Amino acid sequence: MSYKASAPGSLMLLGEYAVLYGTHAVACAVDKRVNVILTPRTDTTIEIHSTLLGDYTTDLANLTITKPFQFVLGVLKHYQAILRKGCTLEIHSDFSDKVGLGSSAAVTVATLAALVSWLDIRMSPIELVRHGRQVVREVQGVGSGTDIAASVYGGLVGYQMQPKLVAEKFSVTPAISVLYAGYKTPTVEVIKRVQDYFSAHINLFRSLRASIGQCAFEGMQHIRRENWKGLGEIMNMQQGLMESLGVCAPVMSEMVHELRKHPSILGAKISGSGLGDCVIGLGELPRQYQYQGVHVGVKCIPVTTTLQGVHCERI
C-alpha cells in the first residue's frame, strides 16, 4: 500500500516581513500542485525520485538535510526518532521550484501529509501547519509558515503565527494575475538584507512592519465583505511599503505598473520577499495579454486560486 498526497502552491497577498514579528498575513493557494507518493519499505533505505530534481538515496540512520531535497528530508528527520523502516518517495510537480509559487511549502506539506498517514498519526489542519512551519525553520532557520497554511487549507487564508498560531480560511476565490521576474533571490538572503539595511533604524523598521501588518488586517476585513476594490487599494498601499523596505528591484516596479495599467486589475504588489520572483495582481488580465515592459525574462504565469488544500489517500 502507498500513500498519495497532494498540496497546492501559493502566493503571498499581504503581510510580508511583518508576519515574522507577530502581525497578520494573507496568502492564497493556487491551482499548481506538488504530488508525493510514499511507499513503505521493509528495509531502512530512503529513496527519493523527482521528475524535476532527480534521484537521491540514503539510509534512515544517516538522514541529513541535503539540497535539493532539503524539505523532504527535513520532514523525515522531523520524525526520525519514531521511524523504524524506510520508504520510497516519488515527487511530481506541476511547476518549477525556480518560480515563486511556494514549492518548498507545497512539498513540505505533501510529504508531511503522506508521512503522518503512513504512521497513522491523526493531525488537525492547524497541527499540520505547526509541524510544517517547524520543518521549514529547522531547514532554513526562518519562516512564518504563511505559505504552509495556504498549502494546508487551500483558498485565501488569513494567518498569524504569534502570540498564538491562527489560520482562517475564506470561502472566496478572487481572480488573480501573476508575473514572474525571470529570477529569484532566496527568501532567507533577502530577509537578512532587509535586517542589515535597517540595523541602524530599528524604530523605522518597527513602524514599517506595523503598517504592513495593518494592511493585512484591513485586507482580511475587505475579503470577508468581498470588497475587491478595497482589497486592491490595500495591495497598492502595501506595495509602497515594500519599496520602502528596499526589496523592489527596477524590474519589479515595472511589473507592478504594467499590471496596474489594465482596468481589470484592482491592485498589484510584490508577492513574497522581493528582489525577484513574482508580482501579483488582483483581477484577470486580457486573454491575449503580452508583457509590454522593457525587461527581458518576465513572463505571465497562468494560475487561479483554488479552494482545495492538502489531500491524502491510500492507493
Identify the pLDDT of residue 26.
98
- Answer yes or no: do 133 and 223 share one domain: no
Predicted structure pTM score: 0.95
Let me know whether 242 and 131 are in one domain. no
SS3 256: helix
- In angstroms, rounded to a whole number, what is the distance separating the alpha carbons of residues 127 and 312? 15
Does residue 29 register a pLDDT over 90? yes
- CATH number at 238 reads 3.30.70.890
Residue 108 to residues 249, 253, 261: CA-CA distances in angstroms? 29, 31, 37
Q: Report CA-CA distances (Å) from 26 to 63, 118, 157, 233, 294.
A: 34, 31, 6, 15, 31
Q: What is the pLDDT of residue 293?
A: 86
Number of domains, the chain:
2
Check whether residue 165 and residue 184 sit in a common domain: no
**126 and 167 fall within a common domain:** yes
Domain that holds residue 286: 176-301
Region 157-165: what's the mean pLDDT? 94
Q: Give yes or no: residues 198 and 99 share one domain.
A: no
pLDDT of residue 99: 85
Instruction: Kindly state whether residues 162 and 258 are assigned to the same domain.
Output: no
Q: Is there a single domain that holds both residue 204 and residue 270?
A: yes
Mean pLDDT of 6-29: 97
Are residues 226 and 81 both part of a single domain?
no
Question: Residue 296's pLDDT band (boundaries 50, 70, 90)?
Answer: confident
pLDDT of residue 115: 98
Statement to judge: residues 68 and 161 lie in one domain: yes
pLDDT digits (tens, 9 = 90+) for 94-111: 998 888 899 999 999 999
Cell of 79: 520524525
